[in-house]
Amino acid sequence: MQETIVIAGGGHAAAQLVDSLRRDGYAGRLVMACAEPVIPYQRPPLSKKFLAGELEAERLPIRPASFYEHLRCELLLGNPVVSIDARGRKVALADGGSLAYDKLVLAIGGHARPIPVPGADLPGVHVLRTLADVEAIRGELRPGVRVAIVGAGYIGLECAATLRKLAHDVTVIEMMDRVMSRVVAPEMSRFYQSEHASHGVSVLTGQRVQGLLGDGSVHAVECADGTQVPADLVIVGIGLVPNTSLAADAGLACDDGIAVDEHCVTSDPDIYAIGDCCSHPSPRYGRRIRLESVDNAFEQAKSAAANICGKPTPHDKTPWFWSDQYELKLQIAGLSQQYDKVVLRGDPASRSFSCCYLRGGELIAVDAVNHAKDFMAARKLIAERARPDLAKLADDTLALRDTL
């Protein structure tokens, strides 16, 4: 009987998995069942070029429909897996159908974290995660619309930059005392907050939202100190929640996501998980981590496919991310959490500099603004667990590789 692999989900990880499985020699039946009614598409442009109207939906697919046909992958669009019978090795679908599997791969991503305040369900209040989310936002962007963005992480600030370029009044409201506080050092936060202010964005930090006000549609955001920010449209960007309920209901272990090993195998040997929905052990960082990045989705898909095809390849590459805001390209190598030393390379006023993070003398992360050379070198040095000389590291006339 022909072997069957079912892929639950339809994002970057799922698309790469189809390609990797066929490249690694899998010849059996392949079925992708996903919630969205469209083929897998690129998410990074959603908060940038697509939101700006510079890119249309037809150009978003990661691969054309013919790619899946050529690789003999059945697409069940808008028909996601809704439950798993792990003992019987079959899944139930939203339309009432079912599929038997030999291997099941969960590539189900996450959903935008909802804001738990009164008025969150008012018309004009949006999150930004899917193509449909952004199409809804674009549909309300008339001239003169005032926008409030709750959350000053990557998504919130990318939206702010995009909407300011479209000449909208934009206010960013952040609960913490600085922007991007979860992922960058204070020096980098100050630079980006100043950059947004120079473009006319009002940034309110240390402000907790306690309600969204409106009668028929949203008209203001109310903060805990009583401040009211007028808004005709609100975008909530306060993080991603991994989709774990499908796995948890099937008895799979979860730990800040669906728990997998270095080969992306869950606590059930016939079920894998890849991408934003799962956490994996990282020898480099000495703990379990969950990464929300396109690169991680691709790499985990490759690792899962290799293991399924009998060519086990552990997944533990240096994480990297990027964010485009105005004319600034921020490229991040590594994870900066638990750093004990920050070294700046270059002058932020030049709009081309790097922020290096160390722990115990070891380079663990680098944020590079318009500095691709430092970013590329950092990925290699972090993988090598390099211990640069601090004086040399601060000298931006030296190549990063020459600071050892």
When computed from its CA atoms, the radius of gyration of the chain, rounded to whole angstroms, is 22
Between CA 219 and CA 123 the distance in angstroms is 10
Do 388 and 337 lie in one domain? The reply is yes
Would residue 316 count as lying in a domain? no
pLDDT at 375 over 90: yes
Confidence of residue 286 (pLDDT cuts 50, 70, 90): confident
**Structural domain count, the chain:** 3
The pLDDT of 110-125, averaged and rounded, is 98
β-strand 341-345 against 353-359: which pairing, if any?
Answer: antiparallel
Which one-letter amino acid corresponds to residue 166? L
Would residue 317 count as lying in a domain? no
Do 105 and 245 lie in one domain? The reply is yes
Would residue 314 count as lying in a domain? no
Would residue 208 count as lying in a domain? yes
pLDDT single digits (tens) 298-347: 999 999 999 999 999 888 889 999 999 999 999 999 999 889 999 999 99
Do 29 and 103 lie in one domain? The reply is yes
Note down the domain range covering 134: 114-236
- Predicted pLDDT of residue 315: 81
Would residue 322 count as lying in a domain? no
The pLDDT of 88-115, averaged and rounded, is 98
Do 150 and 50 lie in one domain? The reply is no
DSSP string computed for 272-296:
EE-GGGEEEEETTTTEEE---SHHH
The residue among 181, 216, 236 that closes a domain is: 236
Do 283 and 249 lie in one domain? The reply is yes
Can you read off the two tokens belonging to residue 345?
A: 């390379």
CA-to-CA separations, 2 to 30, 91, 208, 285, 348, in angstroms, rounded: 10, 17, 55, 41, 59
- Predicted pLDDT of residue 285: 85
Would residue 101 count as lying in a domain? yes
- Predicted pLDDT of residue 239: 96
The residue among 220, 236, 252 that closes a domain is: 236
Would residue 265 count as lying in a domain? yes
- Predicted pLDDT of residue 132: 98
Do 100 and 119 lie in one domain? The reply is no
pLDDT at 1 over 80: no
What share of the chain in percent tops pLDDT 90? 97
Helix (H, G, I), strand (E, B) or coil at 3: coil
The residue among 236, 271, 299 that closes a domain is: 236
Helix (H, G, I), strand (E, B) or coil at 44: helix
Do 221 and 119 lie in one domain? The reply is yes
CA-to-CA separations, 186 to 155, 291, 329, 394, in angstroms, rounded: 19, 22, 18, 17
The pLDDT of 158-166, averaged and rounded, is 98
The pLDDT of 187-200, averaged and rounded, is 98
Do 190 and 214 lie in one domain? The reply is yes
pLDDT single digits (tens) 214-249: 999 999 999 999 999 999 999 999 999 999 999 999
Contact 302, 16 (CB under 8 A): yes
**pTM score, whole prediction:** 0.96
Q: Can you give the CATH number for the domain in which 73 is found?
A: 3.50.50.60
pLDDT single digits (tens) 34-84: 999 999 999 999 999 999 999 999 999 999 999 999 999 999 999 999 999
Do 267 and 119 lie in one domain? The reply is no
Do 223 and 119 lie in one domain? The reply is yes
Q: Can you give the CATH number for the domain in which 383 is found?
A: 3.30.390.30
